[in-house]
């Protein structure tokens, strides 16, 4: 009975400690979510331009190779192969898209690819990407036979 007067201060200390731990975990969670929101905002305001390319599927590796050369990270050979498989399996008059988070010149961005095929096996590929990638694609497309470019 001589230690009964320590029970109430002990309960208060345990409560304060538990509250401190809870506050720290909530602070970490809110900090990481606010950082994620800032990253999304930065990505949303990264300048991007578009280009539409119409060509045969056999020339698409040259287009994707040009993108690979101008991207620091995020769009790699494995993804190009999977993308080529998806485009070749595409039925005529259907439309699909793919989005790749990338870094271009050290800046985070996205490459948005939308494609469809016509009955003559031509692919209409719309690329929305950083201006550096679009400029390189415009130069590359000039070397592809029978390719049409639209801005």
Q: What are phi and psi of 137, to 5 degrees?
A: -65, -40
pLDDT attached to residue 146? 64
pLDDT digits (tens), the chain, 151 positions: 577 777 888 888 888 888 888 888 777 665 556 777 776 666 666 778 888 988 888 888 888 888 888 888 878 888 889 888 888 887 887 888 888 888 888 888 888 989 988 877 788 889 898 888 888 888 888 887 765 555 5
Tell me how far apart the alpha carbons of residues 114 and 142 are, in angstroms, rounded to a whole number: 20
DSSP-assigned letters across all residues of 90-129? PPTT-EEEEEEEEEETTEEEEEEEEEEE-TTSEEEEEEEE
Residue whose pair of structure tokens reads 């990505």 in the numeric block: 43
pLDDT attached to residue 150? 57
Q: Please give the C-alpha separations between residue 66 and each of 3, 84, 140, in angstroms, as whole numbers.
A: 78, 14, 7
pLDDT attached to residue 114? 92
């Amino acid at each position: 009975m001589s230690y009964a007067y320590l029970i109430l201060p002990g309960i208060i200390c345990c409560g304060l400690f538990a509250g401190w731990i809870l506050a720290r975990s909530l602070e970490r969670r809110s900090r990481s979510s606010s950082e994620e929101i800032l990253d999304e905002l930065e990505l949303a305001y990264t300048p991007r331009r578009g280009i539409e390319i119409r060509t045969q599927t056999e020339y698409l590796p040259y287009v994707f190779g040009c993108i690979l050369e101008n991207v620091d990270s995020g769009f790699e050979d494995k993804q190009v192969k999977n993308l080529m498989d998806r485009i070749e399996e595409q039925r005529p008059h259907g439309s699909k898209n793919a989005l790749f988070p990338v870094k271009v010149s050290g800046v985070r961005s996205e490459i948005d690819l939308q494609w469809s095929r016509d009955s003559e096996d031509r692919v209409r590929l719309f690329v929305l990407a950083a201006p550096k990638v679009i400029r390189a694609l415009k130069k590359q497309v000039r070397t592809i036979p029978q390719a049409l470019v639209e801005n």
